[in-house]
Structures are given as C-alpha cells and as structure tokens.
C-alpha cells in the first residue's frame, strides 16, 4: 500500500461503480435529473497520477464541470489522457510552459493535484495566468505559503478553492444539519481516527521536502478538518504526542503516528489519531448531551456510512468528486456559499492547526491557537 489514496481506493473500489450508478439520487435536488443549460466550468487537471485519474473519471458524470485540459511532466501520460478524455492538443501543457494557459480562453480553472511542496508555486502561477485555482489538500507546506497563495489569487481576482470533497458529502452534511438544529444538544466530545499502513518507503509522501511531514499532512488533516466542521467551532488549544516505531522508514520530520487533542471555546474537546502505521482507521464519533453521531467509514471514497441516536443515516451515496466539481462550478460562477467553506482561508486554518500540533508534540506542552 503506497499512499492514502491507494488505501481509500482499495476500500472504495467495490463501491465506485455503485456510486457512479446511484449518483443520480444525490441529496442535491434534481442534481442529475433535469437538463442543465447553464455555464460549464472548463477544467484542466495538473498532475495525472492516481487521484487525478479518479477526479477525471468522476467528472464524466458532471453536468456543470468538464475536463478539457491536462498539465503533466510526463509526455506519455498526456498522450494517454488526450485519447481517453478527448482532450485537444492546444489544451495540453507541461510544468514548464503551462503559464501560456493565460492565452487559452477554453480553460477556466486548473485543479492542482501534485505533491504538497509544489502547490504554492503552481497555484501562484495559475493565478498569474488569470485562471481559477482548485488545489488539493493540504494546500501548502505551511501557513505562510498558504497566505501567499490566497493573496496571489485575490490580486489576480480569481477564486482559490481547496479539494475538500467531504464538505459536499450527504451523510456529512446531514450530521452538520442535525448539530446546527440542536438535535445532539450541547456538543461535548469528538473523536477522529484516520490512518493506514504506508507502503513504499520511497514514495513522495514519506519525503519531508515534498510532503512537508508525514501522516498528519496526508491523512491527519481529515481529522482536523472533521473536528472543525462536526463540532462547528474553531479550536483554541492543542496538545499532541508523537509515536515513532520505525525511524528508517519515517525519517526526521516525517511523522508516523500522532495523537492530538483539541479544545473548543464551548468546552467541547476532541481526541484524534493520525497514523501511517495502523490500518482500518476511518471513523468519526461525536457526542452531545442529547445524542450522538458515528460515521464509519467517515472520509473514505465511499460509501460513507453512519448512524445517530435516531438511527441509521440514509442519505444518498454519491461519487464525491462528481458532486464536488459541480458544486465548485457554482461557487466560481455564481459565488455560491457552501454549507462548509472550501476556500483558501479554510485550508489556511487547517495548516495553522497542523503547525500547532507539530509544535505541541515537540515541546510536549499545550499550544494555544488563534486561527
């Protein structure tokens, strides 16, 4: 198993065809039932690896977004994608010349799906080319880079969106709705377990220069982001403890396992686990005075499953990236405001918390947050 994406793909592969077949029943009314004759977001994908391929396949079912271009450093991949997705030669670029996309009126947005360390420079180049930027998470290596990306997109008057697919997932949104409606009462506790055994020791996700860390940057961000949107507050302190059992595979600066705790203004607390050395971790649990919510799987590619004190969650099974890209089209074109934000500021908050977690683990003390 080489990465989180490999792990999620394996647990979700049997459900992908089910998702593609049942996405018409998504919780967004008439999402795929009525013909759409509005503006279509024309997207180029940068980075044609495993997740880029998953996004491309999911976009086949989109009604408001369309894959029209590719950017890659591998010529053979470009040729393959051209044939597979009917992409014209004029919409194909490499990492050296993609700035020329500024002269291409047939591309509206570029989805950056490359190693973490490349996001900063690539998104800034996308902004300077006058294109909207969609960036995979984590959006950068640190908060300073993230802020520079936000500033660059604002200066260029383009949108910057982060690939938070769970922010559009129906089961997730139902739990958020219930929490907002007070159906759980006062939220007291949240727990997130996110992890798997990382495979190839030479993969870029175990290279600090490319990944910016280890499990926390890759899978732990789901726990951080989930704690924020489930509890509905921003944390004000963090404590953390790191465990490393294999210092050859997980070198200096590449975390293997981190347990961390978050405190919220209301008094709610979160207990979270991020690991590259423990399999089958994909669970959220939240407890309030009047009820609870449990999701397992909670962030995998699907199908997401959950239950509350009222019974099993019966929301639609969707292909996350299909809904994500259609919803992002409405954000870009119509300035639609999603229930949970997916803008650059959202990504910046997660990075500030990640930095505080790393610091807390290092100094073995509570770190106060102001995000």
Active site residues: 137, 222
Question: Cα separation of 8 and 301, whole Å?
Answer: 6
In the chain, DSSP finds a helix count (H) and a strand count (E) of 11, 15
| Cβ neighbours of residue 208 closer than 8 Å, sequence gap 6 or more | 214, 251, 252, 253, 254
Bridging pattern class, strands 367-368 and 237-243: antiparallel
Which DSSP symbol is given to 343? B
Cβ-contact 247, 261 below 8 angstroms: no
Q: How many other CB atoms are found less than 10 A from the CB of residue 289?
A: 9
| Tokens (6 digits) for 128 | 């300077």
Label residue 137 exposed, middle or buried (CB < 10 Å: 0-12, 13-18, 19+).
buried
Question: Cα separation of 314 and 306, whole Å?
Answer: 8
Question: Cα separation of 257 and 277, whole Å?
Answer: 7
Cβ-contact 313, 171 below 8 angstroms: yes
Cβ-contact 224, 304 below 8 angstroms: no
Helices (H), the chain: 4-22, 50-58, 75-85, 116-128, 143-155, 170-180, 208-211, 215, 221-231, 320-334, 344-363
């Amino acid at each position: 198993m080489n990465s989180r994406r490999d792990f999620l793909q394996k647990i979700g592969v049997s459900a992908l065809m089910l998702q593609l077949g049942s996405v018409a029943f998504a919780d967004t009314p008439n999402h795929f039932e009525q013909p759409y004759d509005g503006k279509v977001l024309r997207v180029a994908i940068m980075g044609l690896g495993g997740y880029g391929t998953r996004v491309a396949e999911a976009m086949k079912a989109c009604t408001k977004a369309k894959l029209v271009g590719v950017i890659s450093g591998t010529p053979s991949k470009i040729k393959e994608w051209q044939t597979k997705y009917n992409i014209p030669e004029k919409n194909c670029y490499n990492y050296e010349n993609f700035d020329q996309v500024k002269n291409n009126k047939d591309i509206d947005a570029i989805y950056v799906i490359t190693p973490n360390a490349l996001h900063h420079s690539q998104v800034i180049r996308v902004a300077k080319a006058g294109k909207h930027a969609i960036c995979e998470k984590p959006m950068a290596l640190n908060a300073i880079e993230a802020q520079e990306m936000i500033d660059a997109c604002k200066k260029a008057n383009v949108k910057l969106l982060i690939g938070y697919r769970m922010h559009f997932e129906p089961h997730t949104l139902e739990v958020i709705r219930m929490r907002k409606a007070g159906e759980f009462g006062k939220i007291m506790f949240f727990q997130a377990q996110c992890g798997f055994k990382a495979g190839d020791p030479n993969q870029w996700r175990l290279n600090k220069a490319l990944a910016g860390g280890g499990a926390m940057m890759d899978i732990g961000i789901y726990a951080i982001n989930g704690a924020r949107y489930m509890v509905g507050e921003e944390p004000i302190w963090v404590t953390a403890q790191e465990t490393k059992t294999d210092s050859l595979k997980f070198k200096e600066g590449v975390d293997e396992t981190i347990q961390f705790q978050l405190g919220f203004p209301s008094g709610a607390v979160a207990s979270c686990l991020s690991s590259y050395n423990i399999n089958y971790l994909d669970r959220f649990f939240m407890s309030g005075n009047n009820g609870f919510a449990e999701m397992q799987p909670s962030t995998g590619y699907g199908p997401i499953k959950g239950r509350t004190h009222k019974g099993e969650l019966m929301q639609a099974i969707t292909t996350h990236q299909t809904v994500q890209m259609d919803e992002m089209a409405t954000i870009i074109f119509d300035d639609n405001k999603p229930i949970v934000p997916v803008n650059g500021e959202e990504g910046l908050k997660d990075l500030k918390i990640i930095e505080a977690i790393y610091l807390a683990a290092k100094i073995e003390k509570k770190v106060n947050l102001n995000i």
